[in-house]
Amino acid sequence: MRMSTMDKEIMSEREELKRAQKMRRNKKKNGKKGTSDSNYIGVKRFFSIMFILGSIGIISGLTLLYGPWNGFRDWLITTAMTTMTHQYFATWFYDDDVIKDTLNRNKVVEINEDTNTDMIEIANKQTTNYENEYERQILERDPKNNDYKIIEINEKNFTGYLAAIYDPSRIQAVCTKNLGVSGQYLTTMAEDNDALIAINGGGFVDPNFNSTGGTPLGVTICDGTYKSKANYSGAGGIIGFTEDNKLILTSKVSVKEAEDKGIRDAVTFGPFLIVNGKASSVVGNGGWGEAPRTAIAQRKDGIVLFLVIDGRTLSKPGVDMDDLIKILQRYGAYNAANLDGGTSSVLVINNTIVNDPIDSTGAHKTRPISTGFIVTKDESDDGDHAVVADKLGEDED
């Protein structure tokens, strides 16, 4: 049958339409394939990058842990092994021989002397002559507070507080009421003893790192009463005050030694940092790592220093023993000792914690302890302090 011209044109348009539809289908199909290929290449590239970064991280980590440089390894082991709950950070990666060797290469070599209390002359006089800025901070008393002064410590790796106590006769050791069973929070001990200011004290028995602080180490004397008489072979020794209100440090830990030296209040811990004006030698990083710390010291003029340093944050890990010595020397310490640290490091004023203790879980809180040092109140106390007034809820004016 012959097709008309119109029929031919219609057929031609249909063929053209079919070709156009076919081209669109092919284009769409090819587009999907291109997207799939592109996605595959993207995923492959992502995992390649992650593999490379992971490999670099693993190699870097292994180099830090086991490489030829001791710095990181020594820091990790000494910091972990002086904590109560995080020693696994060291024992995961290193055997006992490596840990022992590291601790032997990083330690505090104490001065082999007992305190010569004759060198301490309790002046209790105010002066306007200051040898340097640190002397001015100690000796320039607050107009509204003649009992103590708080100095804020703020340095690159740590923050904290230094309390200058002007009358050492008002310093006493306090103990948990549940001796041998459980410790108490320092705020509770401070309140029970009507304390103006308080810091944590000596170490305590901590089997399996889960003790509640009920059993203090060594010899403990609270207000003339012997609360513990245990043997002690660790760093330092007895840290106490004599009947004439002088801080005394003795490595001979016994009741007889305490009685012979006329010690009225004492705890046991260490290491001793400064004895008779001579600083202990810090070998390596000192073996105690960086952590929150508490220390007690006395100047030659009788002024007692309570030092509490915070830590356990990424930017502010805390102090090592060398840091403690330098801070205390700066403020004129003549005899000084390290007290219990870590979560135990607490400064309490008017029954309020003014520093920032952090426990092993990262929570901002302290723990029950066995002993502490307090400053007793008298009628002149008003507790006014510019540095900690915000935490105590006081008006700075």
Which residues partner with 374 through β-bridges? 172, 198
Contacts (Cβ under 8 Å, ≥6 apart) of 101: none
Torsion 366-368-369-374 (CA) sign: positive
What is the reported pTM?
A: 0.77
What pLDDT was estimated at residue 14? 63
Cβ distance 349 to 196 under 8 Å? yes
Q: Torsion angle of alpha carbons 18, 24, 27, 31, nearest 10°?
A: -150
Q: How far apart are CA 362 and CA 96, in angstroms?
A: 27
Q: Give the bridge partners for 269, in sequence order.
A: 237
**Beta-bridge mates of residue 162:** 151, 307
Tokens of 286: 């000192």
The residue among 392, 387, 390 whose CA lies nearest residue 153 is: 387
pLDDT at residue 383 in the model: 53
Tokens of 3: 């097709």
- CB contact at 8 A, 6 and 14: no
The candidate with the shortest Cα–Cα distance to 247, out of 265, 260, 234, is 265
Q: What is the Cα–Cα distance from 250 to 240, expressed in whole angstroms?
A: 9
What's 169's DSSP letter? Answer: G
Tally the C-alpha atoms within 13 A of residue 379's C-alpha that lie toward its C-beta.
0
Residue 123's pLDDT is: 81
Output the tens digit of pLDDT for each of the chain's 397 residues.
555 555 556 566 666 666 666 666 665 555 555 555 566 566 666 666 766 667 666 665 555 556 555 666 666 666 666 654 556 566 766 767 777 767 767 788 899 999 999 999 998 777 778 889 999 999 998 877 888 999 999 998 899 999 999 999 999 999 999 998 999 999 999 999 999 999 999 999 877 666 688 899 999 999 899 999 999 988 999 999 999 999 999 999 999 999 999 999 999 999 999 999 999 998 877 778 888 999 999 999 999 999 999 998 888 989 999 999 999 999 999 999 999 999 999 999 999 999 999 887 788 989 999 999 999 987 665 555 556 766 666 554 4
- The 10 Å Cβ neighbour count of residue 22 is 10
